[in-house]
Chains A and B, each alone.
Chain A
Amino acid sequence: MEKLKKLLYSQKAAPYILVLPFILSFAFFWIYPLFSTVKMSFQSILPGEVEWIGLKNYSKLLKDTAFHTAIRNSFEYMIWTLVLLIPFPMIYACFMDSRLVKLKGLYKALLYLPALTSVVVAGTIFRLMFSEMEGSQMNQFISWFGLEPIKWLKVKSTSYFALLTIACWRWTGVNMLYFLAGLKNIDSGLYESAEIDGANGLKKFIYITMPLLKPTTIYVLTISVYAGLAMFLESFMLWNGNSSPNNIGLTIVGYLYRRGIEKNQLGYASAVGLVLLVIALSINVIQLFMNGTFKKEGK
């Protein structure tokens, strides 16, 4: 008992003991699976037959056109989400922060509400809305403009419209809250002095809001890059499964799922997963580097 007390009060040991639960869970749930995935990506894994096959999984990836489609799809989706889910939420956040908007609480709640719903429910409802039947909501909507019904989920452009609609519907409110939190940290004195110097709203936005929101923007950018590349459930729900005509809805994670779970090729799926990790990591490292996150502050 005495010894334990001594250990806990020791200035050298205490920090390590306090950090131990995290280290343990990190090692168990992150480090071990990561290394295990690397190992598995060099193996062919079947029940009772695990074999080392060197780089075969990777060389197969190079030739696998479905995988290339998946990368292209995930990439395009990611780019579009960045284009739509950073500027607009930022602008909305500024509106929410200004004195011009009434009923702010209502709007905030409304925009945030979708994030609380289940993707499974939302995806199913969107699937019905974008159904190819004449009676589907979107087809009725476009018929008001005299347009013919569209097979929404059979063509790439319209199906991306559907996917991005889900993404915007779901994430606009969340990103807006991030930006709102960032805005609260900006000293209102800056705006006042800018006003005295005769700056208009646009100038204040460009020269004060945007630069001071940079840390928030970088954070949102980083998680959006990863979220975009790792998208799976939206596509899974929209096509009611993991397969879409011509693989228009296939994403990298969808492909990983197809190989690992549906086709019993865990080794190959591990290789797919690692490629996703490398892509997401390198994009983010480059992005953070260009934004100067790695530079020491104040110099």
Chain B
Amino acid sequence: MKRNLFSLLLCFVLAASLLIGCSSDKTPATGTGSASQDQETSETGTQEEATAEAITTAGPEDGTHLEMWTFVELHSDFYAEMLEQWNKDNPDKQLNITFTTYPYADMHNKLMLAIQSGSGAPDLCDIEIGQFPNFLQGEVQFRPLNDVIEPYKKDIVQSRLDLYSKDGNYYGIDFHVGATVMFYNTKILNQYGIDYTKIKTWDDFTAAGEQLKEAGGGKVYMTSVDTGGTDWLWLAMAEYGEDYTTDDGAPDIEIDSIKNMITMQQGWLNDGIAMISPGGQVDMEEGFANISDGNIVAFPKAMWFMSRFLNYMPEMTDTWAIAPCPVFEEGQPRSVGIGGTGTVVSNQSPNADLAAQFLAWAKLSYDGEVKIWENLGFDPLNTTIWSDETITKDPNNKYISYFVTNPFDTLNEIKDEIGKIKVGTINPAISEQFNLTILNNCFENGADAEDELATAQDELEIEY
């Protein structure tokens, strides 16, 4: 008996020491996760993915009760703030909302199950744009939002509404345009005598990379290329005006823009101008570490990446500049809308009308749009804000004061050049092909881009 007790004690000591040993290990919490996020173009917070689910309830208890799911805690904070304002303005329509934040994949899978089984869906739910097509198959189980969007429609970027529509009905309301811009580390670039404002084309960019390599002795890379994200490809497609799905929604990935982009990036890797993004893409814990360590000095990312700088690299104030992206040939459009979160109202909701009114007001009204910019740092859908100088020149705004350049200057410069890539039923499968297979093979193993694209195209046609 005594010996049993002793052995049990030893076990616990061993197990405990094992766990303690692990927690003191300095590896970042997300592990390798090279392709763990196969979402097309996420705007998800990796930080939130690591944290446990968070539940908060806001509003008076006697108000109409609604459930809402999100996958980014900052989003629920934003809604909660808007809810407070709504309850002040609408004494006859008091709302009480419970916000639940789940990890990214978890939330989408839960919602999918609720919709397949016809019960258990929340009244309101955020859906990431890469996942949205999965929910538009068959009879859409969301309330069409056309009537509540109508009053705000004239100031809103139309293409961001179309992304979440089917047969003329709008089902989701987005936060932002997600205009892709180039972020440059001016401190390092100045140190090596490189003027980023002179970079207009990818050839200029490559030349700057060569110069950086010479001057920096190979310690600093111009940029990092992604094996687990398609942002670079989206940018290339928008510049050439191409799309990897046809008008009918069929896959068509063997296009010049993609071939040129992949081949150019392979060249950078061979010449030592670029590195492969640790973690697969920059919007990962590993990616943030790589940026703040000063390993790379430039990368294209949508405007919403600004919030990552403030959250994960607060020490890098007055370092980063925002500029239009380089192009293959001058005159091409210099940006593309990437990422997005379409918020939906479920058909299962007993208070769907009220939920829809609140949603449209919270995300599309002028006040809501201003909050989206101030709290979340997203480029709002309402473009009149972009030229409202009380907002764009506000010196107290944390985003405006963080960056070397004013984000709105760049936004207004590229306003008419923001391309749009269609998102259809086949898109999740296409991004899966790129993020799991094609980009890995091309960049990690040096495979030929044309061969890889041809193989993947065949597989996608079977899928389609």
Contact = CB atoms under 8 A, between A and B. Distances in A.
A70 to B, nearest CB: 13
Given A46-B138, A133-B286, A246-B437, A127 B32 contact: yes
A295 B30 CA distance: 53
Nearest to B276: A151
Output the residue of A124, A127, A242 with the most chain B CB within 10 A: A127
Contacts of B278: 132-133
A65 B7 CA distance: 50
Interface string B434-460: 011100110010000000000000010
Contacts of A47: 115-116, 118, 137-141
Interface string B107-147: 01100110110100000000000000011011111000000
B134 A48 contact: no
A278 interface: no
A23 B105 CA distance: 37
Interface residues of B, number: 55
A137 B27 CA distance: 9
A152 B11 CA distance: 29
Given A106-B7, A151-B32, A245-B440, A262 B27 contact: no
Interface in B1-17: 3-4, 6-8, 10-11, 14-15
B35 interface: yes
Interface in A81-112: 103, 105-106, 109-110
Contacts of B108: 262
Dominant secondary structure at the B interface: helix
Given A244-B436, A264-B137, A63 B462 contact: yes
Contacts of A131: 27, 31-32
A40 to B, nearest CB: 11
A135 interface: yes
Contact of A246 (B6, B10, B135, B441): B441
Interface of A: 45-49, 60, 63-66, 103, 105-106, 109-110, 113, 124-125, 127-133, 135-137, 151-154, 239-247, 261-264, 266
Interface of B: 3-4, 6-8, 10-11, 14-15, 22, 25-38, 105, 108-109, 112-113, 115-116, 118, 134-135, 137-141, 227-228, 278, 286, 428-429, 432, 435-437, 440-441, 444, 459, 462-463
9 contacts: A105-B4, A113-B11, A133-B28, A151-B34, A154-B444, A239-B35, A246-B440, A246-B441, A262-B109
Given A239-B32, A261-B112, 6 more contacts: A47-B118, A124-B31, A239-B36, A243-B436, A245-B227, A262-B108
